[in-house]
């Protein structure tokens, strides 16, 4: 190793340690230690070193969380120690019976010490560390055998790729729950709705679906989190004496444990903890469906043992389902950032899971038709993790005589512009753009959000005031605000105004990816923004790209390419971008990532229809786009292949009439593997 490489290796190791420490404080402790821009600079420097000196790159580097190329399936993993399920208790009496059963087995009526912690509504996962490095992650599966999801789990930022601290065991198998926090769930469903795709029913389904993506790059875009709650087995160190000490030990290694966990004594104290957690449930950042109660002493756990497939020393106290029946009093229509019109049911207030609910989303007009929901109907409301709960179903047996159809809107409820109905799309839009105050407010909120320009202190209420007072008519005008203007707004004094002004000035130093994302281009999330930045390297090249050039970028299909191209052709958007650059927004140069060659499908146009078995249609689309193919939503004479799954409909008939070659997914798999040997290894 040359002296230059040795120096680079030392700097890379130092950067990894610093980045891991800052990530731990941000994602695990929720106590950021440096500004995002400083973190980004450290991260970019490490990427630069690893690119220039490939020999300094290690698997546990924080730069390796971006996900890998798709895999054909998940391998099975045999758990060395089974991951068992728990028995259930539904009231304080059953908690008392649980303790009495343990006391009887121990022949001791003394109150027992327990550790109680929230029962997270997610997916149980096992992490295996060898010499402190994450080498495998697996689902619970049937308790004995799970699926290897290592590449997906490596993208979760709260999970350390290398353990921290002292007393790191030679081998450590950790159990925990992967979840999707409520804010992330809401954002994910908003994206699904914006794309006209099916929404996730609840955070658990979204988390499970994210972890079971064959393409871990999709998982990397989902804001998953994990809380660790047990050690499955360990070599090289001694187990602590109590479960509470186990949690403290896991935390010392850099693993995230639930801060709500507590040690209590006796069944009455357990019942009180459960009551308190039920009251606190609605304030938590994640879904829980109960409380897990464990005998604290590991020695007693070993003595008590198991019955069938559940431990005698633990039980799950289950909360009542978060559903309620109430009546729809009216339906309003709200306007989103892209002009999407969302129907919201105004309800007779009802308590759902301890929270009074008076509004519930109906998602879109197609959902209204599917549910056959009407004003004055009695409906089941479900708190599925959305900021606004959802209408789950209509109680037809209680439909009143005065139930009336929900009128289909023709004009924007905010600016009165005529609404745009596009054939084949479920989303109805107001096309007034920023001339519509609702869209302007949402556009500004998106622009200053954390993943965009990250302007601290510029919250939703302040944005509403700025627009209502006529102080801001586009995002660029934010940078022309002065302290005097800001300090005159409600709940703003000179100090708060100065903080906002400072935050705006700080946000001028950004990245091309963040800037692109902040513009709010339809269908362009942070992953697509990153792909654009890496493929083009400059804003000017992106602006100059036509739709065909844009579709050559991974993950960008014809619809997204059309939205991007259209955005950069609009004079108003061009003027705003120029104003932002004139205001001083800037970013470091972006190195262009070279595209691999050798694909036999490059330049070919595919249409996918029907139900696929080997992968989802989105995964098939991603695989094709990776190798340079175009994926269209409609069949035409220009279509080269139609990939037909089961229950293929009208697209299959049209393809046959046009003489388009029809293939099944097995033939698609063969086409995708017909590439040069060096590239095939990455499939």
Q: Token digits for 486?
A: 């800001």
- Give yes or no: 621 in active site: no
DSSP-assigned beta bridge partners for residue 173: 128, 233
Which of 612, 635, 625 has the alpha carbon at shortest distance from 672? 625
Q: One of 78, 119, 637, 638 is an active-site residue; which one?
A: 119
Q: How far apart are CA 453 and CA 56, in angstroms?
A: 32
Which H helix or E strand runs over 120? strand 113-120
The burial of 106, by beta-carbon neighbours within 10 Å (0-12 exposed, 13-18 middle, 19 or more buried), is given as middle
Identify the three-state secondary structure at position 130.
strand
End-to-end CA distance of the chain: 32
| DSSP 8-state symbol, 258 | -
Which residues pair with residue 394 across a beta bridge? 379
Helix segments in 508-639, DSSP class H? 512-518, 526-536, 539-544, 547-550, 558-567, 571-582, 617-626
d(CA 258, CA 271): 19
Residues 6+ apart with CB under 8 A from 275: none
Measured CA to CA, the distance from residue 225 to residue 179 in angstroms comes to 5
Q: How far apart are CA 21 and CA 18, in angstroms?
A: 5
How many CB atoms are located within 10 Å of the residue 515 CB? 21
Q: Distance between CA 130 and CA 253 in Å, rounded? A: 13
Containing H/E element for 342?
strand 341-352
Record the tokens describing residue 298, joined without a space.
């590991």
Alpha-helical regions (H) of 154-287: 182-194, 203-211, 216-220, 243-252, 267-280
Residues making up the chain, counted from first to last: 683
Kindly state the DSSP code that residue 490 receives in the 8-state scheme.
T
**Token pair of 79 as six digits:** 């758990």
In terms of DSSP bridges, do strands 145-147 and 171-179 run parallel, antiparallel, or are they unpaired? unpaired
Pairing assessment for the beta strands 419-420 and 429-430 based on DSSP bridges? antiparallel
What sign does the dihedral 429-433-434-435 (CA atoms) show?
negative
Q: From the CB of residue 67, how many other CB atoms can be counted at a distance below 10 Å? A: 19
C-beta separation of 304 from 360 below 8 A: no
How many other C-beta atoms are found inside a 10 Å radius of the C-beta of residue 594?
A: 8
Which residues are annotated as catalytic? 119
């Amino acid at each position: 190793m040359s002296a230059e490489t040795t120096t680079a290796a030392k700097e890379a190791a130092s950067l990894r340690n610093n980045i891991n420490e800052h990530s731990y404080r941000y994602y695990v402790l929720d106590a950021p230690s440096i500004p995002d821009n400083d973190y980004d600079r450290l991260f970019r420097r490490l990427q630069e070193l690893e690119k220039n000196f490939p020999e300094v790159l290690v698997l546990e580097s924080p730069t390796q969380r971006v996900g890998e190329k798709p895999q054909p399936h998940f391998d099975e993993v045999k758990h060395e120690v089974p991951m068992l399920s728990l028995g259930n208790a539904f009231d304080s009496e059953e908690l008392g019976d649980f303790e009495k059963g343990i006391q009887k087995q121990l022949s001791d009526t003394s109150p027992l010490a327990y550790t109680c912690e929230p029962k997270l509504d997610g997916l149980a996962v096992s992490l295996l560390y060898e010499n402190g490095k994450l080498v495998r992650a697996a689902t619970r599966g049937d308790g004995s055998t799970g699926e290897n999801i290592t590449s997906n789990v490596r993208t979760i930022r709260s999970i350390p790729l290398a353990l921290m601290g002292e007393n790191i065991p030679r081998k450590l198998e950790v159990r925990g729950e992967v979840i999707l926090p409520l804010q992330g769930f809401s954002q994910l469903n908003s994206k699904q709705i914006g794309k006209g795709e099916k929404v996730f029913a609840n955070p658990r389904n979204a988390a499970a679906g994210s972890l079971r993506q064959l393409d871990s790059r999709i998982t990397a875009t989902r804001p998953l989190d994990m809380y660790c709650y047990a050690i499955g087995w360990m070599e090289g160190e001694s187990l602590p004496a109590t479960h509470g000490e186990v949690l403290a030990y896991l935390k010392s290694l850099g693993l995230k444990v639930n801060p709500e966990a507590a040690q209590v004594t006796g069944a009455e104290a357990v019942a009180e903890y459960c009551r308190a957690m039920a009251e606190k449930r609605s304030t938590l950042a994640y879904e829980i469906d109960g409380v897990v109660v464990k005998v604290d002493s590991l020695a007693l756990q070993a003595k008590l043992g198991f019955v069938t497939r559940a431990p005698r020393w633990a039980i799950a106290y289950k909360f009542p389902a978060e559903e309620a029946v109430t009546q729809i009093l009216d339906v309003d229509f709200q306007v989103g950032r892209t002009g999407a019109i969302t129907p919201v049911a105004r309800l007779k207030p009802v308590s759902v899971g301890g929270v009074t609910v008076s509004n519930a989303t109906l998602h879109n007009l197609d959902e209204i038709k599917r549910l056959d929901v009407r004003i004055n109907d009695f409906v089941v409301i479900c708190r599925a993790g959305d900021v606004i709960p959802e209408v789950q179903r209509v109680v037809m047996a209680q439909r009143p005589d005065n139930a009336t159809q929900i009128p289909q809107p023709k004009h924007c409820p905010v600016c009165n512009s005529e609404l745009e109905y596009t054939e084949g799309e479920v989303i109805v839009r107001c096309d007034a753009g920023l001339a519509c105050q609702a869209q302007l407010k949402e556009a500004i909120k998106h622009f200053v959000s954390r993943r965009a320009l990250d302007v601290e202190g510029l919250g939703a209420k302040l944005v509403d005031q700025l627009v209502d007072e006529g102080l801001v008519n586009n995002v660029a005008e934010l940078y022309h605000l002065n302290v005097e203007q800001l300090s005159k707004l409600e709940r703003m004094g000179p100090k708060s105004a100065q903080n906002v002004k400072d935050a705006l000035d700080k946000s001028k130093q950004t990245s091309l990816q963040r800037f692109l994302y902040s513009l709010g281009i339809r269908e362009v999330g942070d992953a697509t923004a990153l792909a654009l930045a890496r493929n083009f390297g400059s804003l000017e090249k992106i602006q100059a790209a036509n739709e065909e050039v844009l579709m050559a970028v991974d993950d960008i299909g014809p619809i997204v390419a059309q939205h991007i191209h259209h955005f950069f052709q609009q004079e108003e958007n061009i003027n705003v971008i120029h104003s932002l650059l004139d205001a001083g927004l800037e970013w470091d140069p972006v190195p262009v990532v070279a595209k691999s060659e050798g694909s036999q499908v490059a330049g070919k146009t595919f249409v996918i229809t029907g139900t696929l078995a080997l992968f989802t249609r989105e995964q098939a689309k991603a695989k094709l786009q990776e190798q340079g193919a175009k994926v269209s939503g409609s069949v035409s004479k220009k279509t080269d292949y139609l990939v037909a799954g089961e229950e293929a409909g009208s697209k299959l008939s049209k393809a046959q009439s046009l003489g388009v070659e029809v293939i099944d997914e097995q033939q698609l798999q063969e086409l995708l593997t017909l590439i040069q040997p060096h590239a095939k290894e990455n499939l």
